[in-house]
Amino acid sequence: MKLFKKIIGVLIGTLIMGLGVAFFELSSLGFDGLSCVVVSLQGLTSVTYSIGYLLVNLLFFILMIIFLRGQIGIGSVINYLLTGVFGDLFMHLFKAVGFSGSSIFILNLLFGLFGVICLALGIALYANANLGVTPYDALPLIITKYLKINKKPIKYHIARKMVDGACILFGLIVGIIVLKQYHISGINTVVTLIFVGYL
């Protein structure tokens, strides 16, 4: 019964994370670091968000299998398979009911705030279940485990900023400079980078 409750927590957390991504799209003010990469890949290949999420995280999952196998759990698999699906689901649902982005900046800021809150809440629910690390969250753990500066391991929060920063840089170069899609990186990107962990 305890495991069942944890799995439900992971599913709800993953669902809420997908909702957060949909709010980010609605706001047109940027995505979180991982979604910057996924949405940039979407622009390059015309795949859906869910397929892009699976492709990007497949690389992270392979690295996790090689370097951090002990942190893989049922939660890791659920997050990998369903976050993108839930993101697509809510994006299509918003469009189906005629809920689209606004030309009013304050309203877009509000959508972005909903996205940040959903992302933070989803991560909290997921992490609290303790059923495995997400493929994306595994990257900074791998860095802290294997990379050292002056024979000292890199601290987790620095490794996390390195990973987020690399993803945001990818979104800036590919999404904005190459694809000219200015909604990929923005205010939401900066806010999630700084505040989601605290939330």
* Low-confidence residues of the chain: pLDDT under 50: none
Note the Cα 113 to chain centre separation in Å. 15
Q: What is the pLDDT of residue 188?
A: 94
pLDDT number for residue 56: 95
Q: What pLDDT, on the 0 to 100 scale, is given for residue 139?
A: 94
Residues 31-50 as b or e (16 or more Cβ within 10 Å = b): bbbbbbbbbbbbbeeeebbb
Q: Which two tokens stand for residue 113?
A: 């705030």
Closest CA to 125 of 20, 29, 38: 20
By C-alpha distance, which of 197, 153, 170 is closest to 36? 170
The predicted pLDDT at position 143 comes to: 93
Element (H, E) at 89: helix 74-96
Rounded CA-CA distance 193/159 in Å is 13
pLDDT at 101: 74
Beta-bridged to residue 149, according to DSSP, are: 152
β-strand partners of 152: 149
pLDDT at 57: 96
